[in-house]
């Protein structure tokens, strides 16, 4: 359960660990120009996913069995990017947390654009395709490591908004500082099972 934790305004509560973003059904979704030859679909070729990701086929199958849905982007038939959608549970290894994904929510993770295909706008189009194809979901969540500027650009271009910044606190726990909507920051904190941090004024 999340709870607020105050700290002094003008200072940081801890070490930045990365931002959290969200898109809720009904939010604006700017249509990106078509990228000729790009197709995006639910991935059923687990052997191919294993080859692209460098994971054992058994691990890819275990992800699917646990409710994770893989999506694959191709350009003129060539696999160029992939990503995963958590529907039941998820974990963020870099933060050392695991959490349940409530019905109607999706957590997007492990997105990779293959070398040689980066910088073409494939990532935001892959994200938008997932928003459209996962039509039964109403809330989508995604994050990245603090210094990953390229990921931030792609996520924002796809239509996501920044919920807040996650911090590693001195006591070893995690907290999130809202950026924009406090309602969405609370929802994000509840999803991840971390504290919502509010500055003393």
Q: Which residue ranges make up each domain of the chain?
A: 4-200
Q: How far is CA 115 from the centre of its chain?
A: 20
Do 184 and 22 contact (CB within 8 A), yes or no?
yes
**CA separation for the pair 89, 108 (Å, rounded):** 11
| Residue 1 pLDDT grade (very low, low, confident, very high; cuts 50, 70, 90) | very low
Q: Which CATH fold topology does 4-200 show? A: Aminopeptidase (3.40.630)
> What tens digit of pLDDT does each residue of 28-39 get?
999 999 999 999
Report the DSSP beta bridge partners of residue 55: none
Confidence (pLDDT) at 147: 83
SS3 161: strand
pLDDT surpassing 70 at residue 61: yes
Any idea which of 11-15, 81-85, 116-120 has the lowest mean pLDDT? 11-15
**CA separation for the pair 42, 53 (Å, rounded):** 16
- Residue 23 to residues 42, 128, 158, 169, 184, Cα–Cα distance (Å): 20, 10, 9, 26, 10
What is the average pLDDT across 1-12?
Answer: 54
The CA angle 45-48-49, to the nearest 5 degrees, is 90
Sheet containing 68-75: which strands, arranged edge to edge?
Answer: 4-8, 195-200, 174-178, 161-168, 15-24, 139-143, 105-113, 78-86, 68-75, 38-42
> What tens digit of pLDDT does each residue of 154-186 get?
999 999 999 999 999 999 999 999 998 999 999
| Residue 197 pLDDT grade (very low, low, confident, very high; cuts 50, 70, 90) | very high
Do 191 and 99 contact (CB within 8 A), yes or no?
yes
**CA separation for the pair 86, 100 (Å, rounded):** 9
Q: Residue 133 phi/psi, 5° resolution?
A: -80, -25
In eight-state DSSP terms, residue 13 is: S
- Residue 74 to residues 13, 69, 82, 84, 119, Cα–Cα distance (Å): 42, 17, 9, 15, 15
């Amino acid at each position: 359960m999340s709870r607020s934790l105050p700290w002094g305004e003008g200072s940081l509560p801890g070490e930045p660990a990365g931002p959290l973003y969200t898109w809720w059904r009904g939010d604006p979704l700017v249509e990106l120009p078509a990228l000729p030859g790009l197709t995006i679909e639910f991935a059923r070729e687990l052997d191919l996913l294993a080859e692209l990701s460098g994971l054992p086929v058994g691990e890819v199958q275990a992800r699917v069995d646990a409710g994770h849905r893989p999506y694959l982007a191709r350009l003129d038939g060539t696999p160029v990017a992939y990503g995963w959608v958590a529907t039941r549970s998820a974990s963020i290894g870099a933060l050392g947390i695991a959490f349940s994904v409530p019905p109607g929510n999706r957590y997007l993770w492990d997105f990779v654009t293959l070398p040689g295909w980066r910088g073409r706008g494939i990532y935001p189009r892959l994200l938008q395709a997932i928003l459209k194809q996962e039509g039964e979901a109403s809330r989508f969540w995604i994050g990245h490591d603090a210094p990953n500027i390229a990921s931030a650009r792609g996520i924002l271009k796809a239509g996501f908004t920044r919920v807040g910044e996650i911090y590693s606190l001195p006591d070893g726990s995690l907290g999130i500082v809202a950026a924009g909507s406090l309602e969405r920051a609370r929802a994000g904190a509840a999803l991840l099972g971390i504290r919502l941090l509010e500055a003393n004024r």
